Each structure stands twice: as C-alpha cells, then as structure tokens.
C-alpha cells in the first residue's frame, strides 16, 4: 500500500490504523526511514520471518523523497511485496505509483487552509475566523493546528533570517513568508507561538477548556 499527500495528520492517522490492524493479526512491524534503509535489511524482513517465526509488516517512510538507492525502488517494483506500506508526506506522481500494483490512499489538504494561513494577519481576525470555519468543515482541527504552527515557525524564521532561513521553500513561498512576516512584530509572533504550545499541552494532557477548534477560534479572535 502507498499512503501519500500533504495532509500528514490524516495520513498518519490512517497509517497508525493499518499498523494496529497488522498487530491484531499477529504480524510484527518493522519501520524504516527512506534515507537509511538498506537492501539487505529489506530482503531480511520482506522475504524472511522474525526470530519468533512471525511474518512482518514493513513500513518505509519517505522512500521516494529520501531513498539512498534507486535499486531499492527497482527491487520493490519487481517483487511487489504484499506486506509493505510506503508512507510519503507529499503527493507522489501517478506515473510512479502505477509502477506499484498496490492499493493507494491519497490525503490532500483543502485549498481553503492555505487561504486561511495567508489571511492570518494582525487586525484581520474577522476574515480569518470565517476561513477557519470553512477549513474545519473540510479538514480536521488537528490538521489546521499543525499547519498554523508550521506557518508561525516559518514567519519567525523569515523575520530573523530572511531567505537564508527558508532554504527548504520555493522562492515564491519564501517571498510570501517574508512579506507576511513584515506585518507582525516579532513579539507578536513569539506570543502566538507560546499560545500554540500551551494549547497543544492542554489538548494532550486533557486540560483544555474546550475542543481544539474552539481554542483556535479564541486564538484568532485575539489577533
């Protein structure tokens, strides 16, 4: 199975479900990072059994993006193992997927979430709230939270380091981040970042006064 797309929150939830189902069936689970996996390791776990004699489910993350060797991909295409899940944090081309005769699940973020992130500006809370409400009807609040936290980190970096700190982004994205960052004071971005950390802590410890969508509402209303 290939699981891919930019909605990493939902795709990881689905991956976790697949792993839990495999464990319930008595399979061992072996996980690899694409940049670290070796051919001999794959051969051992895909064509053999564990020391206890159980079959293994093999999970490889970011194989296409960070694979150290094309020969590994060629081997997987040729062998077409059934007990394999490939997880990618980005969308993979259909041409590449078609080489694997396996099931696929695609998780894409709705376009409105990017409009929401672009509209996240001081004094623009009314419009941002309207976009947030649209976004959470098309994606989970967890996905929105993850993307917002990521955006704030980029904006802080953009203010302090400019393009030099945004080397992983496309030049167009770099320009947008820098322009958006100029609309904030650094102290504002740091305050928002601290609030997001506190919201995350409350949600994970069960001490949140309301659900995550409600807390995001209050955060945006305070802009």
Domain spans, the chain: 2-106, 111-221
Write phi, then psi, for 201 (nearest 5 degrees): -65, -45
CB-facing half-sphere around the CA of 113: CA atoms within 13 A: 21
111-221 carries CATH number 3.30.70.2610:
no
> What pLDDT does 189 receive?
96
Largest Cα separation within the chain, whole Å, is 62
pLDDT at residue 114, rounded to an integer: 95
- In 3D space, the residue among 31, 43, 95 whose CA is nearest the CA of residue 72 turns out to be 43
Query: How many C-alpha atoms does 206 have within 13 Å on its Cβ side?
Result: 0
The reported pLDDT for the residue numbered 65 is 77
Q: Would 2-106 and 111-221 be classified into the same CATH topology?
A: no
pTM as predicted: 0.80
Closest CA to 30 of 90, 89, 81: 81
> In the chain, where does DSSP find H-type helix?
8-24, 39-47, 63-66, 70-79, 94-97, 111-119, 125-138, 141-161, 171-181, 186-205, 212-221
Count of other CB atoms within 10 angstroms of residue 191 = 13
User: What pLDDT shows up at residue 27?
Assistant: 87
Task: Say which CATH topology domain 2-106 has.
Answer: Rossmann fold (3.40.50)
Residues making up the chain, counted from first to last: 223
Kindly report the CA angle at 18 between 78 and 91, in degrees rounded to 5?
Answer: 60
pLDDT by residue, tens only, the chain of 223 residues: 999 999 999 999 999 999 999 999 888 899 998 888 888 888 888 876 545 556 889 999 998 876 557 888 888 999 888 889 999 999 999 988 899 889 999 999 999 999 999 999 999 999 999 999 999 999 899 999 999 999 999 999 999 998 899 988 889 999 999 999 999 999 999 999 999 999 999 999 999 999 999 999 999 998 8
């Amino acid at each position: 199975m290939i699981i891919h797309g930019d909605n990493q929150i939902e795709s990881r939830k689905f991956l976790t479900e697949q792993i839990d189902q495999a464990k319930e069936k008595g399979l061992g689970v072996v996980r690899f990072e694409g940049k670290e996996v070796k051919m001999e390791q794959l051969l051992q776990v895909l064509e053999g059994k564990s020391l206890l004699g159980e079959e293994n489910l093999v999970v490889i993350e970011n194989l296409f993006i960070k694979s150290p060797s094309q020969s590994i991909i060629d081997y997987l295409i040729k062998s077409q193992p059934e007990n394999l899940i490939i997880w990618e944090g980005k969308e993979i081309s259909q041409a590449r997927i078609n080489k694997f005769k396996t099931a696929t699940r695609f998780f894409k973020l709705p376009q409105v979430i990017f409009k929401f992130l672009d509209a996240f500006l001081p004094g623009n809370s009314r419009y941002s709230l309207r976009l947030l409400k649209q976004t959470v009807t098309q994606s989970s609040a967890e996905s929105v939270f993850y993307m917002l936290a990521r955006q704030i980190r980029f904006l802080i970096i953009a203010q302090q380091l400019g393009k030099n700190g945004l080397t992983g982004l496309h030049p167009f994205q770099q320009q947008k981040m820098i322009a958006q960052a100029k609309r904030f004071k650094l102290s504002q971005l740091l305050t928002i970042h601290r609030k997001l950390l506190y919201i995350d802590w409350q949600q994970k410890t069960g001490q949140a006064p309301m659900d995550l969508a409600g807390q995001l509402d209050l955060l945006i209303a305070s802009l």
